[in-house]
Amino acid sequence: MTSLLILNGPNLNLLGTRQPEIYGATTLAEIEALCRTHAKSHGVEIVFAQSNHEGEMVDLIHAARESHAGIILNAGAYTHTSIALMDAIQSVEIPTIELHLSNIHAREKFRKKSFIAKVVLGQICGFGAAGYPLAIDAMLAHLR
């Protein structure tokens, strides 16, 4: 069965607790449940992960080579800073979609810069939690 890694970066474990006007009121556990239901209806498996640590995210991306056909990545603030994540995505050669809850292009200038944009299939941002099932659909359309 096709398996996707949905990887979430720093502070996303706090979703639903603060700044709902920017990130929505849905918790990460609720987003995971949404993804599981959506993936099941499409006959695909998901591994849903979150880490506050850049190196751990690099390790998870490397490990994805063994078991995942695609990666959906909300790298959080590392999006705007991490050459290590960019290199990891490029090195594993697994199709990856960049995902953000908020529209990073409509916010502070520093959020417009994404180091990972260069090495991903595309970017989905600004649709809140609904972006996750959209990203699953986009990944499956790419893989099939």
Closest by CA to 136, choosing from 22, 31, 29, is: 31
Q: Which is nearer to ligand CA2, 23 or 115 (CB)?
A: 23
Quick check: 17 binds ligand CA2 (CB under 6 A)? yes
Quick check: 40 binds ligand CA2 (CB under 6 A)? no
Site size for ligand CA2 (CB under 6 A) = 17
Closest by CA to 34, choosing from 46, 24, 22, is: 46
Closest by CA to 85, choosing from 60, 49, 106, is: 60
Question: Strand 45-50's sheet: what is its strand order?
Answer: 45-50, 3-8, 70-74, 96-100, 122-125
Give the one residue of 97, 102, 116, 136 binding ligand CA2; rule: CB under 6 A: 102
Instruction: Assess whether 78 carries a catalytic annotation.
Output: no
Contact positions with ligand CA2 (CB under 6 A) in 72-91: 74, 76-77, 79
Q: How far is the CB of 79 from ligand CA2 (least distance, A)?
A: 6
Catalytic residue numbers read 23, 100
